[in-house]
Structure 1
Amino acid sequence: MKKDLLNIRTIVAIGIGAAIFIVLRYITIPVGIVPNTTVQLNYIFLALIAVIYGPIAGGLIGLLGHSIGDALQYGNVWWSWVIVSALVGVGFGLIWRKLKISEGIFGWKSVVLFNVVQIITQAIGWFLVAPLGDITIYAEPAKKVFLQGIVAGVLDIVTVGIFGTLLIWIYAKTQTKKGSLKKEE
Structure 2
Amino acid sequence: MTDRNVPAGIPNDTISAQIVAIAATRDMASFEALFREFGPRIRAYLLKLTRDGQAAEDLMQETMLAVWRKAGQFDPTRGQASAWIFTIARNTWIDAWRKQKRPALDPDDPALVPAAEADAPTLLELKQRGAALHEALKALPEEQVELIRLSFFDEASHSTIAARLGLPIGTVKSRIRLAFGRLRAALEEKK
Whether TM exceeds 0.5 here: the answer is no
- Identify which of structures 1 and 2 has the higher relative contact order when contacts are C-alpha pairs closer than 8 Å and 6+ apart: 1
- TM bucket normalised to smaller: under 0.3
Rg larger for: 2
With the length of structure 2 as denominator, give the TM-score of the two structures. 0.25
With the length of structure 1 as denominator, give the TM-score of the two structures. 0.25
